[in-house]
Amino acid sequence: MEDEWEPPVPVGYNETNRAFLQALMARGSLTFSEGQKLVAEILPAQQGGDHINPRAITQDDFGKLIQTAREAVEPLDYDIRNMRHQGNGERVWAFINAHSDPATQMGTTRSPEEVSFIKRLLDAMFEEYNTVRMEVMAVDEGQALKVSRPRRRQSGINGTALEDEEINSQGTPDRGLKHSEVLSLLSSLVAEGWLEKSRDGFYSLSPRSLMELWSWLVATYNDPDEDGEWQHIKFCEACKEIVTYGQRCAERDCIVRLHDICEEAFWRARRDQKCPKCQTDWTRNHFVGERAVTSRSGFQKGRGRKSGGRRSNLEDAVAAQQEAAEEDDQDEDMDEN
């Protein structure tokens, strides 16, 4: 019987590297400050000695552990990648499946119905609530509950209306999830670092998810034949990473986007603050992400309205979307005139 293949071990790989990699795999993602605390706990346990102040762990120390861990997992089709958090700019390192989609990533820990719901949730984020008019790429609780069950398709056989059932990843009818199950799953996905929930109650993909699903998102939602045109997945003009929270050009059909965390350095290198593609003045009040909704007066009025209790985020979002539609209709009328 042939010996089972074992991946090569990086030079210098020891128990400290092993403990660090196992901790990163268990957590899914790490910032540098979290990594400092983790390494400060690992070193005394593995090597002996006194307590270590986390601040004594340098970027170089952390970087060497990351690099060795990456070398250890690459032969197994895993990777450790990093990106800056779009909100606070903090760099995040994540252990990811290098050939991942929602089904393969969640399949071992989620039921077929949960995996199907996650796919519907992504469709809502990147198709339904991500249009030329409003690039939200986030959903609130009410919008998530709307996709708790698959939409039924109607088909006719011999004049009889039938209802086609969606089929889940295991080939059985997808019955969807109860609302209580959706709320529990959303909380779990936030706790595990797959989703982030904002103060206004919007769910969006975390840096870990964006790194894990980068290739899948582009392949699923973008059209390769529409290069240079509006696409569902956008990239920052400065850092070239995915933008789900940032700013957009004021010209609706222009494709230039910027992270908030990138714009200062981006404009510093230019003579004026005009869009590099269409030369429109950069206004800083056209947004990508939940602010495409929350910055609208329709949303703000809804939040301040007291009528037997505050309206839901979903109602506020609808009001903001209607406001955006009216503005676009006015713009089109002005263009025609």
Higher-pLDDT residue of 105, 94: 94
pLDDT in the model for residue 46: 73
Per-residue model confidence as pLDDT tens digits over 28-76: 999 999 999 999 999 988 777 778 999 999 999 999 999 999 999 999 8
pTM for the model stands at: 0.83
Tokens of 334: 């002005």
Q: How many CB atoms within 10 Å of residue 58?
A: 12
Tokens of 291: 């602010």
55 DSSP 8-state letter: G
Which residue do the tokens 């250890």 mark?
72
User: How many helices and strands in the chain, by DSSP H and E?
Assistant: 12, 13
As to burial, measured by CB atoms within 10 angstroms (0-12 exposed, 13-18 middle, 19+ buried), residue 182 is: buried
